Chains A and B, each alone.
Chain A
Amino acid sequence: MEQERKMKAGIECINAGKVFVTPEGEHEVVRNLSFATKENEFLVLFGPGQCGKTTIINMIAGFEDVTSGRILADGKKVEKPEPSRGVVFQNIALFPWMTTMGNVEYGLKIRGVKKEQRRAEAQKYIDLVGLSGFENSFPVQLSGGMKQRVGIARAYCNEPEVMLMDEPFGALDAQTRYLMQEELQRIWSAEKRTVIFVTNNIEEALYLADRIIVLTNCPATIKKEYVIDLPRPRNLVSEEFLALRREITGILDSSQED
């Protein structure tokens, strides 16, 4: 039973690939990608460069089609976006005309949840991401880090089975980024979910991941896989951490020389 549940809940990519057809010709961005998530696993897709990674998230979310292979969610083919797969966007994509509360409760509102109930639910996640007191602020009034907290709360509030995070901290300054990594680690420990997290920052990957899939650049395909079983919260300067960091950076360097 337990085995079956783990098989069902989650994302499975089977030889997934994506080729964009442009006037200049065909452009392959993802090739032969196969992996499956485990329940409540924090899976990081780590890779250099600009192309491929966002497309993978977009395909899992259902924003874009695969051009070869299959992507399954809960054993069913992904055809369109679903509330069961929450997304945290790289450029956050909050609705600027809504307050923090409005943005976070948006999904519940669409589902027709009654006002009192959805307010309470949204408040829980606003508190969880540390934004108590900013419920009535508009996005323009928030800093970059705070905006992305709203983005995370919005995705959480809809209680998705899987969270897709596309370089959520990519637009933040280094200091805020560290802070947000710690925050995400704390939030995820408090509210466990299966997470697929894309990044090009090795430290971020090592700090957050249960498992890292290292991708090549353009077309993105799996280079190597690491299970990270260091205790949490992780020490960024421990021996093991630094050794892993050196190793993964090393295989990336060699892959770029290919």
Chain B
Amino acid sequence: MLKKKKWGYTLASLVSVVTVLAAWYICINVLHLKAETVFPGPITVAKTFFQKLYTKAPDGATLLVHLASSLKVALLGYALGVVFGVPVGIMMAWNKWVDRFVRPLFDLIRPVPGLAWIPMFILLFGIGIMPKAAVIFLSTAVACIVNCYTGIRQTRQEHLWVGDVFGASDAQKLFRIAIPTALPMIFTGLRVAMGAAWMALVAAELLAASEGLGYMIQQGRYSSKPALVFVGMLMIGLVGLAMDVVLHWLEKKVAKGMNAE
């Protein structure tokens, strides 16, 4: 019975994807509402996708090379942002002194969108991997700090009392009580940050890059190959989805017993 229902849900998701693809096909390839040179249909996009796996024209690299280039920058900036943001967020929530020390800077930086940093970073680092990694680092760190902070703040007073009764030290309460409490929120932070990092990267590549998915999209536009623009967007969507799935799976492994209380 339950299994049947699960299949039904999967079917619903499939139907929505197929419907959009069909509507797209009908609008472009049957009704010809727009010329394919302006807005390509799904079949042209699929063809371009497979061609791009081995063709370097018009932007000088194959799809996987662009993807690798984007991932390299994204993961570098992301890793640095997590390594910095998670501990800072946790310590801000745990220790009032850290909170008061970091907060004014953080509140000032937080409203500045990642992209607004790009001109400054280009001036600082030139057009290479650095300005993009720096933007991603900032977006990631902000998302991690906000979510880790909120997560630690959800620690229940009684749980800390249990620690007190058993004579737990401050560090033991942090690592054995507060952080486990915050784990689901920390993972939410990691996922939000991953999304933010990926978005910031592609935007940065649109502005300043010589490689990467954003650059490929931009080149597709300049050389009047709209199908290439679509392929780039599709790839961005797929990779973002894949990363989210991986993090979600990891969360389930790590945060046991926390899915409901």
- Contact flag A93-B161 (CB < 8 Å), given A110-B172, A139-B257, A140-B257: yes
Interface range for A: 20 to 34
The answer to whether A198 has its CB under 8 Å from any CB of chain B is no
- Contact flag A110-B167 (CB < 8 Å), given A93-B158, A97-B257, A139-B257: yes
Interface string of A93-109 (1 = CB under 8 A from B): 10111110000001100
Residues on B with C-beta less than 8 A from A34 are: none
Chain A facing B: main interface SS: loop
Given contacts A82-B167, A110-B168, 15 further A-B contacts (CB under 8 A): A62-B164, A83-B167, A89-B161, A93-B161, A95-B162, A98-B257, A106-B166, A106-B176, A107-B165, A107-B166, A110-B172, A138-B256, A140-B259, A140-B261, A154-B162
Are the CB atoms of B164 and A63 closer together than 8 Å? yes
Are the CB atoms of B257 and A83 closer together than 8 Å? no
Are the CB atoms of B166 and A97 closer together than 8 Å? no
The answer to whether A216 has its CB under 8 Å from any CB of chain B is no
Q: Which residues of B contact A (CB under 8 A)?
A: 156, 158-159, 161-168, 172, 176-177, 180-181, 183, 255-261
Task: Give chain A nearest CB distance to B89 CB in angstroms.
Answer: 19
Are the CB atoms of A96 and B257 closer together than 8 Å? yes
* A138 to B261 Cα, complex, angstroms: 10
Q: Which residues of A contact B (CB under 8 A)?
A: 61-63, 80-83, 85-87, 89, 91, 93, 95-99, 106-107, 110-111, 138-140, 154, 158
* A80 to B38 Cα, complex, angstroms: 73
24 A-B contacts (beta carbon < 8 Å): A63-B164, A80-B164, A82-B167, A83-B165, A83-B166, A83-B167, A87-B162, A89-B162, A91-B158, A95-B159, A95-B177, A97-B181, A97-B183, A97-B255, A97-B256, A97-B257, A106-B162, A106-B176, A107-B166, A111-B166, A111-B167, A138-B257, A154-B162, A158-B165
* A99 to B167 Cα, complex, angstroms: 20
* A106 to B172 Cα, complex, angstroms: 11
Nearest CB in chain A to that of B168: its residue: A110
Nearest CB in chain A to that of B254: its residue: A97
Q: Nearest 4 CB-CB pairs, A to B?
A: A138-B257, A93-B158, A107-B166, A81-B164
* A82 to B259 Cα, complex, angstroms: 32
Nearest CB in chain A to that of B156: its residue: A93
Task: Give chain A nearest CB distance to B127 CB in angstroms.
Answer: 46
Task: Give chain A nearest CB distance to B246 CB in angstroms.
Answer: 21
Residues on A with C-beta less than 8 A from B162 are: 87, 89, 93, 95, 106, 154
Task: Give chain A nearest CB distance to B155 CB in angstroms.
Answer: 11
Residues on A with C-beta less than 8 A from B168 are: 110
* A91 to B177 Cα, complex, angstroms: 17
Residues on B with C-beta less than 8 A from A80 are: 164
Are the CB atoms of B165 and A61 closer together than 8 Å? yes
- Contact flag A89-B158 (CB < 8 Å), given A81-B165, A82-B167, A97-B180: yes
Residues on A with C-beta less than 8 A from B177 are: 95
Residues on B with C-beta less than 8 A from A63 are: 161, 164
Partner of A61, one of B161, B163, B167, B172: B161
Residues on A with C-beta less than 8 A from B257 are: 96-99, 138-140
Residues on A with C-beta less than 8 A from B163 are: 110
* A96 to B167 Cα, complex, angstroms: 20
* A195 to B255 Cα, complex, angstroms: 35
